[in-house]
């Protein structure tokens, strides 16, 4: 393609990946063309009609792919102007799309959350364990133990059972866009465990650790316990304000899929700016992928780690919120240069996941039961979210409701968070003030509303109670 010719998706051949999944294949082909600048910033994509004729797809399939690119910040859709590429891709990130060989198969406590029990309105970040198929889980544990044999119970695997790490790597490749191998995976008891390992291993007294503000309080506390100087970075509508990152730091912690607690997605331009900052300053980026499975308006977004050509991202995930909290199984995908040190810390602390849960998860993931559970729970949570939103007064301001296990409810102008939460507690509602998550940020008054652990009947009843409180504020 000559430089003088405007780029067009019509110049792209029909992707081979379409046979495996048409919508996903179209999305990946267009995303790759944007990232490698076959479709440069500002270029206009063809209409869904013309591209459908070229690629032998339905317009509905292309429309879904375009909407996903729009939701992730790759393109901008303007009535009367069409669809145009809006992400400016730095040269060094083109290598993130280079073909890779198929990965080899490998045979200080925080304060407890308020209202940790389920079915308390409106405690945030609580899944509904009642949606989990206990009989299927019991069968998976039984089959896993029988197939693994005594060796799985006797052998020492500090990083986790090889079979489980292989299943996790498979899942991340298929659903999070990450090209990782099983030997990059370390099994943990959850995201907090991963953050603790990172803090103990990477941070020395006086090191700078950047966190989102507002942000996830346990991350800030763990970094502080390690002796780090924690620097709060403001959050904008596009996520972490990368322009505010310091010129030198040891690491930056982010929640790009669904910012905790505000709920926005880290834009593509900010993701690339963050990776560029990490490369320039020799810093690490800690990606907390919490909530990524529960996106109600589009397909789950690709992980920040999927763009990490420089191997600067430490990815943290967990099964505790999407299966059941008592499971205590999470995982990390770590740069190879950090793996030995992180494993030494893991062995010294003695925190590891029991073999029974690990072999059960191998079966649960491999049988497709995990993906089926995610699909069912996503549908249930979306229905509960919709029911609660329908209860709220017309014109009530909310944000972050497009994904996750909670949303932010903004109080009327002049409202007082503490007073509102006190009055809510008097009528049986447990709310968290947004200010609890802030270090230096000064935001309008708001509260966090969790809904996923409640039944539809509970949501409708307590939603009316919440509405009365709002009307009286």
Neighbours of 72 (CB within 10 A): 20
Question: Do 372-471 and 133-370 fall under one CATH topology?
Answer: no
Which pLDDT does position 17 carry in this prediction? 60
What average pLDDT does range 379-399 have in this prediction? 96
Q: Provide the pLDDT confidence category of residue 155 given band limits of 50, 70 and 90.
A: low
Backbone angles phi, psi at 46, to 5 degrees: -70, 170
Does pLDDT of 5 surpass 70? no
| Residue 340 zone, left/alpha/beta (φ > 0; ψ -120 to 50; rest) | alpha
Mean pLDDT over residues 144-164, rounded?
84
Q: Which two tokens stand for residue 173?
A: 């490749």
Residues contacting residue 273 through CB under 8 Å, at least 6 positions apart: 242, 243
User: Which DSSP helix (H) or strand (E) runs through 196?
Assistant: helix 191-202
| CB 66, CB 78: distance < 8 Å | no
Q: 52: which strand partners?
A: none
All structural domains of the chain with their residue ranges = 9-89, 133-370, 372-471
Residue 292 tokens read as: 């990524």
State the fold for domain 133-370. 3.40.640
Residue located via tokens 């690709």: 302
- Local confidence band at 42 (pLDDT 50, 70, 90 cut-offs): confident
Structure tokens at 350: 């003695």
**Backbone angle region of 169, left / alpha / beta, with phi > 0 → left and psi within -120 to 50 → alpha:** alpha
Residue 215 phi, psi (nearest 5): -160, -170
Q: Are 424 and 469 in contact (CB under 8 A)?
A: yes
- Scanning the structure block, which residue is given the tokens 């700016």? 273
Percent of the chain topping pLDDT 70: 88
9-89: CATH topology: Arc Repressor Mutant, subunit A (1.10.10)
Q: Is the full-model pTM beyond 0.85?
A: no
Structure confidence at residue 11 as a pLDDT band (50, 70, 90): low
- Asked if the 372-471 domain carries CATH number 3.20.20.70, the reply is no
What pLDDT, in 10s, does the model give residues 317-360? 999 999 998 999 999 999 999 999 999 999 998 888 999 999 99
Q: How far apart are CA 299 and CA 302, in angstroms?
A: 9
Which two three-digit tokens encode residue 392? 């709220």
pLDDT surpassing 60 at residue 1: no
Least confident interval from 34-38, 103-107, 348-352, 466-470 = 103-107
Residue 104, pLDDT above cutoff 50: no
Q: Pseudo-torsion of CA 196, 198, 204, 208, nearest 10°?
A: -100
Q: What is residue 337's DSSP assignment?
A: T
Determine contact, residues 127/324, Cβ cutoff 8 Å.
yes
Tens digits of residue pLDDT in 183-229? 999 999 999 999 999 999 999 999 999 999 999 999 999 999 999 99
Q: Which residue, among 229, 235, 281, 277, has the nearest Cα to 254 in the 3D structure?
A: 235
Confidence category of residue 20, pLDDT binned at 50, 70, 90: low
Tell me what pLDDT residue 289 has.
95
């Amino acid at each position: 393609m000559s430089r003088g010719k405007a780029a067009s998706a019509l110049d792209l051949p029909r992707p081979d990946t379409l046979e495996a999944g048409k919508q996903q294949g179209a999305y990946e082909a267009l995303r790759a063309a944007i990232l490698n600048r076959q479709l440069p910033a500002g270029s206009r994509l063809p209409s869904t009609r013309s591209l459908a004729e070229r690629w032998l797809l339905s317009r509905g399939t292309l429309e879904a792919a375009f909407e996903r690119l729009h939701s992730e910040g790759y393109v901008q859709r303007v009535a009367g102007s069409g669809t145009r590429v809006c992400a400016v891709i730095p040269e060094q990130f083109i290598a993130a799309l280079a073909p890779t060989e198929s990965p080899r198969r490998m045979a200080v406590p925080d304060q407890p959350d308020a209202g940790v029990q389920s079915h308390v309105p409106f405690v945030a970040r609580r899944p509904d364990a009642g949606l989990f198929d206990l009989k299927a889980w019991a069968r998976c544990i039984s089959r896993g133990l029988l197939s693994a044999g005594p060796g799985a119970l006797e052998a020492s695997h500090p990083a986790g059972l090889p079979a489980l790490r292989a299943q996790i790597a498979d899942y991340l490749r298929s659903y999070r866009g990450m090209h990782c191998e099983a030997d990059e995976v370390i099994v943990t008891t959850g995201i907090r465990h991963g953050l603790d390992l990172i803090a103990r291993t990477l941070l020395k007294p006086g090191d700078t650790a950047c966190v989102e503000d507002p942000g996830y309080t346990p991350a800030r506390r763990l970094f502080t316990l390690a002796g780090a100087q924690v620097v709060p970075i403001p959050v904008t509508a596009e996520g972490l304000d990368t322009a505010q990152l310091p010129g030198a730091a040891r690491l930056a912690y982010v929640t790009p899929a669904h910012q905790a607690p505000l709920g926005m997605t880290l834009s593509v331009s900010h993701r690339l700016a963050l990776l560029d900052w990490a490369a320039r300053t020799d810093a690490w980026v800690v990606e907390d992928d919490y909530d990524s499975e529960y996106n109600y308006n589009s397909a789950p977004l690709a992980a920040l780690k999927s763009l990490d050509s420089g191997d600067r991202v430490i990815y943290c995930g967990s099964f505790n919120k999407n299966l059941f909290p008592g499971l205590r199984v999470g995982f990390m995908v770590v740069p190879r240069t950090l793996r030995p040190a992180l494993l030494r810390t893991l062995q010294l602390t003695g925190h590891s996941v029991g073999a029974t849960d690990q072999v059960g998860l191998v079966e649960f993931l491999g049988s497709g039961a995990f993906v089926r559970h995610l699909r069912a729970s996503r549908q249930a949570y979306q229905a509960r979210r919709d029911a609660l939103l329908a209860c709220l007064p017309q014109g009530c301001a909310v944000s972050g409701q497009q994904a996750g296990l909670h949303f932010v409810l903004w109080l009327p102008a002049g409202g007082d968070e503490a007073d509102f939460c006190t009055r809510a507690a008097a009528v049986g509602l447990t709310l968290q003030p947004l200010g609890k998550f802030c270090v230096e940020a000064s935001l309008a008054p708001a509260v966090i509303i969790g809904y996923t652990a409640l039944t539809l009947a509970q949501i409708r009843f307590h939603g009316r109670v919440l509405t009365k409180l709002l009307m009286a504020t």
